[in-house]
A and B are shown apart, each in its own frame.
Chain A
Amino acid sequence: MSDNQLSTYIPSEPATARSRLIKPAILAGLVVIIALLPLLLGSPYLLHILILTLIYIIAAVSLRTITISGQFPLAHGAFMGIGAYLAGMASKHLGWSPWLTIPLAALVTMGIGMLIGYPFARLRALYYALGSLFFGIGVVYIIQAGGTWTGGYSGLTGIHPMFGGSKTAYYYFFLGLAIVSLLALYRFEFSRIGTNLKAIAQSHLVASSVGINEGWFRVLAVGVGCFFAGLAGAGYAHYNMVLSPASFNFMATLWLVMYVLIGGIDSFAGPIVGTIILILIPEFARGLKEYSPFLSAVLLLIVVYLMPKGLVSLPSLVRAWYSERRKGKKIAHVSGN
């Protein structure tokens, strides 16, 4: 028997009506669980963690949106901070409603991102990373030096809440915000705009030779990414009601980068998976929490060596390994005959 015949010998599983229903059924189950989580949990602390997870999912996915254009900024935590402090200051000093401060803060963050992104669009690789890194550090310094306006080192207090007392309302608000944001970013990536960004990332010379305005599309990607970072930050401000400059420092940026890298930078779902795993695991294993930077570093190494496409590629890797094994057994069986 030739190799060719052997490989056709293995029957592929027929796509029955039942197996086709499995995926939608799992999805529907997930949606129901996510929607009912506040009732199931009963613990305000766990709900708090879930709310933070939703906020950081928006920020991490928006960071990845910038990276598809081939830019790797190290200032996303700072952009979250800009959104958070703008919303917080407008709420505290001007008494504006959260429904006004959150979209406005996101828009202004987008504007700042694009202004910064314009000169940065000429920088490549390491220079880009370093430039944005120092920008992020500068933002934290400005917040710390802001006196009564920003609350300085001790933080900004007196931000008005969105909803009175109940975390459940916040949970549903941020769930809705995350879904809308993810849909918006998904459409951005999987349209011709995203194609242009990916083209620029692969070769900016070839992209501009077909008429793609490289600079403008890079700035656009930064603008859109910063809009959602600002949105997440502003939402956080009205949820937490207290802001500290340390929440938006270089470590905050690095965590967002870790969510993206560990989850998988090549896929839209990557940062979502990365954020959920890196925020939730330390919470459920409380004893490990103080070691979480070390554990994350180990996790990053494991991911880099074993699954370069991130945790999100784990199921397909397992499936490939499993079918390889099955194939091996079949072949052993056949040659045994």
Chain B
Amino acid sequence: MFLEIKGLTKQFGGLTAVNRFDMYVSEGEIVGLIGPNGAGKTTLFNLITGVLRPTKGRVIFDGEDITGKKAHIVAQRGIGRTFQLNPLFANFTVLENVSASFHLHPKSSLFDIYFSTKTYRRNEAYILEQSLEILKLVGLEKVKDELAKNLPHGYQKMLGIARALAVKPKLLLLDEPIAGMNPDEIDFTMTGIRKTRQQGTTIVVVEHNMMIMNLCDRVVVINFGQKVAEGTPEEVRKNQEVIQAYFGGEHAA
């Protein structure tokens, strides 16, 4: 199993945000993690990527137990992620956002960086080339010299994905990539995600916008921190519990 989550639990004081959650992701899949606001989706991402430490449970990635590892270690293991809010370095340009995110591959030693050795200059040239390639992939090459904070919302979110790709992730976690977007921006972003997948990256995407299901091979539904359903997008659409979670119990029919 590529990513395996077993009995993951997170308690904030008396509140259980994620409750004995189980989930798996196979290599090459796009898995959707959907649920209403406050269901625990982002908390789950934060637990996987080391922003938060789980109260209980295990996260196993690519055969290694990464439970409770720090965020930069998780990134080193090959998990990239985006953020729902503040997804980028606001005062860097678009290009700088991506090139600054190339911290791991290739990695220059402090000595190489400080004394600008041949290795460092070669690495930086490679990073520049790769960054431009990623920007082309996600369709942002035209705005590469704009400050990130001046970009429209949809472009900012896409830049968040571009940044995460600089980690050369084996697994990419996208946190609400199309939330708050207009239809054009949604199209733009979905195309970018599809292209990313074609490059061989496994993707888990959190959304409460049901549009995202069109992208997914498999969907996991979470509500009140617990898994309520799992299956193909068609199966999940018909599932009673999912309809209840979204529209409330009484109106389900």
Q: Which residues of A contact B (CB under 8 A)?
A: 187-188, 191-193, 195-196, 198-199, 202-203, 205-214, 220
Apart from the given pairs A202-B89, A208-B51, A211-B103, 18 other A-B contacts in the complex at a CB distance below 8 Å: A193-B110, A193-B113, A195-B100, A196-B100, A199-B100, A203-B88, A203-B89, A205-B51, A206-B87, A208-B72, A209-B167, A210-B75, A210-B104, A210-B166, A210-B167, A211-B76, A211-B104, A220-B110
- Enumerate chain A residues within 8 angstroms of B50, measured Cβ to Cβ: 208
Q: Contacts A192-B108, A192-B124, A211-B167; is A206 near B89 (CB within 8 Å)?
A: yes
Contact across chains for A191 and B116 when beta carbons are under 8 A apart: yes
Nearest to A212 among chain B residues (CB) is B103
Report the bound CA distance from A220 to B111 in whole Å.
Answer: 13
B80 adjacent to chain A (CB < 8 Å): yes
Nearest to B78 among chain A residues (CB) is A211
Q: Contacts A191-B113, A195-B100, A211-B72; is A206 near B83 (CB within 8 Å)?
A: yes
Contact across chains for A193 and B114 when beta carbons are under 8 A apart: yes
B49 adjacent to chain A (CB < 8 Å): yes
B25 adjacent to chain A (CB < 8 Å): no
Closest 5 pairs between A and B when the two form their complex, measured CB to CB: A211-B75, A208-B71, A210-B101, A211-B104, A202-B89
Contact across chains for B75 and A206 when beta carbons are under 8 A apart: no
> Which residue of the partner chain, among A187, A191, A199, A208, contacts B89 with CB atoms under 8 Å?
A199
Contact across chains for A209 and B71 when beta carbons are under 8 A apart: yes
Please classify the interface of chain A as helix (H, G, I), strand (E, B), loop, or mixed, using the class held by over half of its residues.
Answer: helix
Q: Which residues of B contact A (CB under 8 A)?
A: 49-51, 70-72, 75-76, 80-81, 83, 86-92, 96, 100-104, 108, 110, 113-114, 116, 120, 124, 163-164, 166-167
Q: Looking at the assembled complex, report how far the CB atom of A12 sits from the nearest CB atom of chain B, in whole angstroms.
A: 20
Report the bound CA distance from A193 to B113 in whole Å.
Answer: 7
Nearest to B75 among chain A residues (CB) is A211
- Enumerate chain A residues within 8 angstroms of B75, measured Cβ to Cβ: 208-211
Nearest to A209 among chain B residues (CB) is B81
Q: Contacts A192-B113, A209-B164, A210-B166; is A202 near B91 (CB within 8 Å)?
A: yes
Report the bound CA distance from A85 to B245 in whole Å.
Answer: 67
- Enumerate chain A residues within 8 angstroms of B49, measured Cβ to Cβ: 209
Nearest to A208 among chain B residues (CB) is B71
Question: Can you list 20 A-B contacts (CB < 8 A)?
Answer: A191-B114, A192-B113, A193-B113, A196-B100, A198-B92, A199-B100, A202-B89, A202-B92, A203-B86, A207-B89, A208-B50, A208-B75, A209-B83, A210-B80, A210-B163, A210-B167, A211-B75, A211-B76, A212-B72, A213-B70
Q: Looking at the assembled complex, report how far the CB atom of B190 sits from the nearest CB atom of chain A, in whole angstroms.
A: 22
Contact across chains for B103 and A210 when beta carbons are under 8 A apart: yes
Nearest to A194 among chain B residues (CB) is B113
- Enumerate chain B residues within 8 angstroms of A207, measured Cβ to Cβ: 89
Q: Looking at the assembled complex, report how far the CB atom of B113 sits from the nearest CB atom of chain A, in whole angstroms.
A: 5
Q: Looking at the assembled complex, report how far the CB atom of A307 sits from the nearest CB atom of chain B, in whole angstroms.
A: 18
- Enumerate chain B residues within 8 angstroms of A196, measured Cβ to Cβ: 100, 103
Nearest to B70 among chain A residues (CB) is A208
Q: Looking at the assembled complex, report how far the CB atom of A233 sits from the nearest CB atom of chain B, in whole angstroms.
A: 24
Q: Looking at the assembled complex, report how far the CB atom of A37 sits from the nearest CB atom of chain B, in whole angstroms.
A: 32
- Enumerate chain A residues within 8 angstroms of B108, measured Cβ to Cβ: 192
Q: Looking at the assembled complex, report how far the CB atom of A28 sits from the nearest CB atom of chain B, in whole angstroms.
A: 26
Report the bound CA distance from A195 to B88 in whole Å.
Answer: 14
Q: Looking at the assembled complex, report how far the CB atom of B65 sits from the nearest CB atom of chain A, in whole angstroms.
A: 19
Nearest to B123 among chain A residues (CB) is A192
Report the bound CA distance from A208 to B74 in whole Å.
Answer: 9
- Enumerate chain A residues within 8 angstroms of B83, measured Cβ to Cβ: 205-206, 209
Report the bound CA distance from A7 to B80 in whole Å.
Answer: 46
Nearest to B76 among chain A residues (CB) is A211
Nearest to B102 among chain A residues (CB) is A210
- Enumerate chain A residues within 8 angstroms of B87, measured Cβ to Cβ: 206
Contact across chains for B86 and A206 when beta carbons are under 8 A apart: yes
Contact across chains for A199 and B92 when beta carbons are under 8 A apart: yes
Q: Contacts A196-B100, A202-B91, A205-B51; is A213 near B72 (CB within 8 Å)?
A: yes
Q: Looking at the assembled complex, report how far the CB atom of A27 sits from the nearest CB atom of chain B, in whole angstroms.
A: 23
- Enumerate chain A residues within 8 angstroms of B116, measured Cβ to Cβ: 187, 191
Nearest to B81 among chain A residues (CB) is A209
- Enumerate chain B residues within 8 angstroms of A220, measured Cβ to Cβ: 110
Report the bound CA distance from A210 to B120 in whole Å.
Answer: 19
- Enumerate chain B residues within 8 angstroms of A195, measured Cβ to Cβ: 96, 100
Nearest to A184 among chain B residues (CB) is B114
- Enumerate chain A residues within 8 angstroms of B91, measured Cβ to Cβ: 198, 202
Report the bound CA distance from A187 to B116 in whole Å.
Answer: 9
- Enumerate chain B residues within 8 angstroms of A212, measured Cβ to Cβ: 72, 103
Report the bound CA distance from A191 to B51 in whole Å.
Answer: 27
Nearest to B173 among chain A residues (CB) is A209
- Enumerate chain B residues within 8 angstroms of A210, measured Cβ to Cβ: 75, 80, 100-104, 163-164, 166-167
Q: Looking at the assembled complex, report how far the CB atom of A189 sits from the nearest CB atom of chain B, in whole angstroms.
A: 11
Q: Looking at the assembled complex, report how far the CB atom of B98 sits from the nearest CB atom of chain A, in whole angstroms.
A: 10
- Enumerate chain A residues within 8 angstroms of B100, measured Cβ to Cβ: 195-196, 198-199, 210
Q: Looking at the assembled complex, report how far the CB atom of B96 sits from the nearest CB atom of chain A, in whole angstroms.
A: 8
Report the bound CA distance from A193 to B110 in whole Å.
Answer: 7
Q: Looking at the assembled complex, report how far the CB atom of A180 sits from the nearest CB atom of chain B, in whole angstroms.
A: 14
Contact across chains for A187 and B114 when beta carbons are under 8 A apart: yes
Q: Looking at the assembled complex, report how far the CB atom of B52 sits from the nearest CB atom of chain A, in whole angstroms.
A: 11
Report the bound CA distance from A210 to B91 in whole Å.
Answer: 17
Q: Looking at the assembled complex, report how far the CB atom of B81 sits from the nearest CB atom of chain A, in whole angstroms.
A: 5
Contact across chains for B80 and A209 when beta carbons are under 8 A apart: yes
